[in-house]
Amino acid sequence: MTETYDALSGGDRGIFSSEHQQFRETVRRFVDEELAPHHGEWEDAGVVPREVWKRAGEVGMLCPTIPEEFGGFGADWLYNVVVIEELAKQGITGPGFMVHSEMVAPYILAAGSEELKNSVLPGMATGEIIGALGLTEPGAGSDVKEIRTRAVRNGDDYVINGQKVYISNGQLCDIMVTACKTDPAAGARGVSLIAIDANQPGFKRGRNLEKIGLKAQDTSEIFLEDARAPAWRRLADEGSGFGIMMGKLAQERLTQAVRSICVAEAAIQWTVDYTAERKAFGHTLADFQNTQFVLADLAAETLSARVFTDWCIKRFLAGELTSVEAAKVKLVVTNLHVKVVDQCLQFFGGYGYMTEYPIARAYIDARIVRIAGGAAEVMKQIIGRDLFKGRLSS
């Protein structure tokens, strides 16, 4: 398979060790043999078989950063980056490994009780337990204080009632880290996170939602009707949920950027390969100045965004990536992702509208990136408020 980054940059990125590269070969082989040949079937079905999760767990693709005492490798976050990149290069949108490994497991590892970590994380590493994140509600997205799902203490348990929507891994999940109001009068400070067992009568899965793209990823409505969770399944203290979520947003947004830059690089490479062979008016498309100029612009912008993304990865590994930097990299790279796949698809003509071509599927899947992990407008607000820190009237 073509190494798209080398084709654009001609150089070593300087952040991966030989161990990371060996792991990359394992992941790439798994993607080539176990995921890519079946992805079309899973898109039609709207869900990935559970057995795929278990096979991914066997090769270490799930939650590699979890400490060995909880069943993981205890590896650094670059192992996660390798998984994200290899999935993105081939347009693998299901299974929802990113939510499982990049969001659910880090929440539990950072703020879960020892009992919760011991009961859940080993199974998440093997793929026997699939994780989901239950934050969004029909009337509450980015504005966490509007969450209506209620958790009421009843002895040693919480009784939880409410509704969640757009829940990735919703049809398959065994555990859902859920944002609940434990103190409705306290606004955002009344939000707690509770890891709910999804295999109980009070956890009701709604329909698998029909989406524009990401069709292999099961995305569901969830209804909680007197669902129960012991208090030890709460993450940290009551009312700490908002702070936990804010603390993990930088990682989530950087993850989106890592995926987006890989898709942009892959799309340019597909287009270079196609236009070098496709003929029109007695020439290949690559012979035309317009082709060369458009792709030259996109390649230059993508390389610039790659350098920025890798700089943010280094900052994150050092514990120095700020929320504003994460907002900037997500804004820049996801906007570029959408631009690149749109302009590249144009060179494919009618073929670009056929989903048998990777560029068409990349185009369909691209639109979510300006929404997931915080909408582009939210990123602009974060950046803008930082620019005018202390100088805004409201």
Report the catalytic residues.
Answer: 252
Q: How far is CA 51 from the centre of its chain?
A: 21
Q: How far apart are alpha carbons 350 and 332 in whole angstroms?
A: 29
In the numeric block, which tokens belong to residue 344?
């590249």
Task: Report yes or no: 338 and 356 within 8 Å, Cβ to Cβ.
Answer: no
The DSSP line for 238-283 is TT-HHHHHHHHHHHHHHHHHHHHHHHHHHHHHHHHHHHHH-EETTE
Q: How far apart are alpha carbons 365 and 354 in whole angstroms?
A: 14
Residue for token pair 């103190």: 183
- CA dihedral for 335, 102, 26, 368, sign (positive or negative): negative
The DSSP line for 191-242 is EEEEEEESSSTTEEEEEE---SS-TTS-EEEEEEEEEEEEGGGEESSTT-HH
| Beta bridge pairs of residue 279 | 284
Task: Report yes or no: 176 and 131 within 8 Å, Cβ to Cβ.
Answer: yes
> CA Rg, the chain, in Å?
21
Per-residue exposure over 232-243, b if at least 16 CB sit within 10 Å of its own CB, e if not:
ebbbbebbbbbb
